């Protein structure tokens, strides 16, 4: 991904975040979903902010508005399968039953869950001869790398996105792809994964392992022998042999991996792709959202807007938190009586909720001041978890018509 890295550097110099005079309209989710030129929507953000639910709700709403949608999730809890009434999701897109629409609607919805290892296997099988592919797939070191190496999940999410886009353009099966990005430590891992995986496979240690297989006997120097002996002592002779065999077999495919990663990176920058950043009204989540917004700008990737999920609902009433607290303390000090206790408890809850709402409002205002061009929609916290299509529809309604909250 060296080319992508250079592109990112150029972008960060020429695409600064600058202020725009006047208020910025709220994020118009329905306009985004209804735009037939919009082919990919990527939901991203920190872990635990509701990316999976948001992606599923966007997908269902788009399908019921007439789009042919496939949603790709990378969610180990498999909540998406449960909410969509599918017993299990795997690496194959499967129709979601119960999608509604008017009589003239041509909308449909498929859902799938990324199988990281199977996607890696598919790439190998498509790039190598059957004999070479089988040699790689059976290699113990490959099995370890394809199943658990840091960054492989994020890389394969991008790989699967590229596959889906190619399939959609060739077959016409889908006209909108919605991606739920991996629950990574950092929201930026999704964009950095191709470079990290490429750097690992193209690193000095891997080149050292590959040196004997590339030919000249002069490479088998005493220095190389000492390094090999040291590595063998640390990790064991069989592991080193497996690594050397893997790198040797994989070397012919490496250029293809780089090219595919670069194409997918360019796909994310292209017109027709939009990023929706999802955050909770908490300092860490909004800080992560700010990092992602700035990174997307630097990489010249199109940002649709920000979804602030699970915002606290302001209680009805004109009392300020200070007045409610004073009334609570007065009732508490007044002493006995169950009615006093109930009233005092309600005042305390009212005051606490008002303070939470004010804190979240300040956090949103701080984000808006730092990023005045980012369109935002705020979703209220629901009374219960989303576990079916009706729950996803409710989320979709709030995304499309936030004033109905």
Question: What backbone phi and psi angles, to 5 degrees, belong to 377?
Answer: -130, 135
Locate 89 and state its tokens: 């999701």
- Decide if 214 contacts 252 (C-beta within 8 A): no
Q: Where in the chain is the domain with CATH 3.40.50.300?
A: 2-14+25-194+253-312+381-404
Task: Determine which of 144-148, 221-225, 257-261 has the lowest per-residue pLDDT on average.
Answer: 221-225
Residue 243 clears pLDDT 80, i.e. is over it = no
Alpha carbon distance 330, 325 (integer Å): 9
Locate 215 and state its tokens: 């030919």
Residue 319 clears pLDDT 60, i.e. is over it = yes
Alpha carbon distance 75, 150 (integer Å): 16
Residue whose token pair is 């007439």: 66
Residues 205-210: what's their mean pLDDT?
A: 52
306 three-state secondary structure:
strand
Yes or no: domain 2-14+25-194+253-312+381-404 corresponds to CATH 3.40.50.300: yes
Residue 76 — very low, low, confident or very high, per pLDDT cuts 50/70/90?
low
Residue 266 — very low, low, confident or very high, per pLDDT cuts 50/70/90?
confident
Tell me the pLDDT tens digit for each residue of 250-259.
666 666 666 7
Could you tell me the CA-to-CA distances from 194 to 5, 152, 202 in Å, in that order? Answer: 10, 8, 12
Task: Determine which of 102-106, 130-134, 232-236, 323-327 has the lowest per-residue pLDDT on average.
Answer: 232-236
DSSP β-bridge partners for residue 139: none
The kind and range of the H/E element at 182 are: none
Q: Residue 59: exposed, middle, or buried by beta-carbon count in 10 A (0-12, 13-18, 19+)?
A: buried
Q: How many CA atoms lie within 13 A of 320 on its CB side?
A: 3
């Amino acid at each position: 991904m060296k080319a992508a890295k250079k592109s990112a550097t150029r972008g960060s110099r020429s695409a600064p975040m600058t202020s725009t005079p006047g208020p910025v309209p709220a994020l118009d989710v329905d306009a985004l979903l209804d735009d037939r030129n919009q082919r990919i929507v990527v939901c991203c953000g920190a872990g635990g902010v509701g990316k999976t639910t948001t992606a599923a709700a966007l997908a269902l709403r788009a399908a019921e508005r007439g789009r042919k949608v496939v949603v790709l999730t990378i969610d180990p809890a498999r909540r998406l399968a449960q909410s969509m009434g599918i017993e299990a999701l795997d690496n194959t897109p499967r129709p979601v039953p119960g999608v509604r629409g008017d009589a003239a609607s041509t909308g449909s919805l498929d859902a799938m869950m990324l199988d990281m290892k199977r996607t890696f296997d598919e790439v190998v099988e498509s790039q190598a001869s059957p004999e070479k592919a089988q040699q790689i797939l059976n290699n113990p070191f490959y099995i370890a790398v394809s199943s658990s190496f840091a960054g492989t999940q994020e890389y394969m999410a991008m790989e699967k996105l590229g596959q889906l886009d190619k399939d959609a353009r060739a077959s016409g099966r889908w006209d909108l792809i919605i991606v739920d990005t991996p629950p990574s430590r950092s929201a930026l891992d999704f964009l950095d994964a191709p470079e990290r995986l490429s750097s690992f496979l193209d690193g000095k240690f891997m080149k050292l392992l590959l040196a004997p297989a590339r030919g000249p006997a002069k490479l088998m120097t005493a220095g190389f022998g000492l390094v090999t002996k040291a590595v063998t002592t640390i990790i064991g002779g069989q592991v080193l042999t497996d690594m050397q065999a893997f790198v040797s077999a994989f070397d012919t495919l490496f250029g293809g991996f780089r090219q595919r990663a670069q194409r997918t990176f360019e796909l994310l920058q292209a017109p027709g792709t939009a990023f929706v950043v999802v955050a909770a009204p908490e300092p860490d989540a909004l800080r992560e959202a700010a990092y992602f917004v700035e990174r997307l700008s630097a990489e010249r990737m199109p940002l649709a807007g920000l979804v602030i999920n699970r915002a606290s609902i302001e209680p009805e009433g004109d009392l300020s938190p200070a007045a409610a607290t004073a009334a609570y303390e007065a009732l508490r000090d007044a002493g006995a009586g169950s009615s006093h206790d109930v009233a005092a408890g309600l005042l305390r809850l009212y005051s606490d909720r008002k303070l939470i709402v004010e804190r979240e409002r300040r956090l949103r205002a701080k984000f808006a001041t730092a990023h005045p061009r980012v369109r935002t929609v705020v979703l209220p916290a629901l009374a219960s978890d989303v576990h079916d299509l009706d729950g996803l529809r409710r989320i979709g309604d709030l995304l499309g018509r936030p004033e109905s909250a």
